[in-house]
Amino acid sequence: MAILFDWYEDPRPSDKEQKEKTLHPRIKYNGSVGTDIIRRRIQERCSLTETDVIAVLDALSHILGQELADGKQVHLDGIGYFRPCLTCAEPVTVSTKRKSTKVKLKAIQFRAD
Q: Please give the pLDDT value at position 100.
A: 87
Q: How far apart are the first and last CA of the chain?
A: 20
- Whether 59 is in a domain gets the answer no
pLDDT in tens, 22-77: 888 999 998 999 999 999 999 999 999 999 999 999 999 999 999 999 999 999 99
State whether the Cα torsion 65-66-72-76 is positive or negative: negative
* Residue 49 CB contacts under 8 Å (≥ 6 apart), including other chains: 43
How many structural domains is the chain composed of?
A: 1
Q: Please give the pLDDT value at position 14.
A: 59
Q: Please give the pLDDT value at position 3.
A: 87
Q: How far apart are CA 113 and CA 111, in angstroms?
A: 7
- Whether 100 is in a domain gets the answer yes
- Whether 111 is in a domain gets the answer yes
- Whether 62 is in a domain gets the answer no
- Whether 113 is in a domain gets the answer yes
- Whether 37 is in a domain gets the answer no
Residue scoring higher pLDDT (111 or 20): 111
Q: Please give the pLDDT value at position 92.
A: 86
Q: What angle do CA 85, 26, 31 make, to 5 degrees?
A: 85
Q: Please give the pLDDT value at position 90.
A: 87
pTM metric for this prediction? 0.73
C-beta separation of 98 from 65 below 8 A:
no
Domain range for residue 100? 79-113
Q: Please give the pLDDT value at position 38.
A: 95
5: left (phi over 0), alpha (psi -120 to 50) or beta: beta
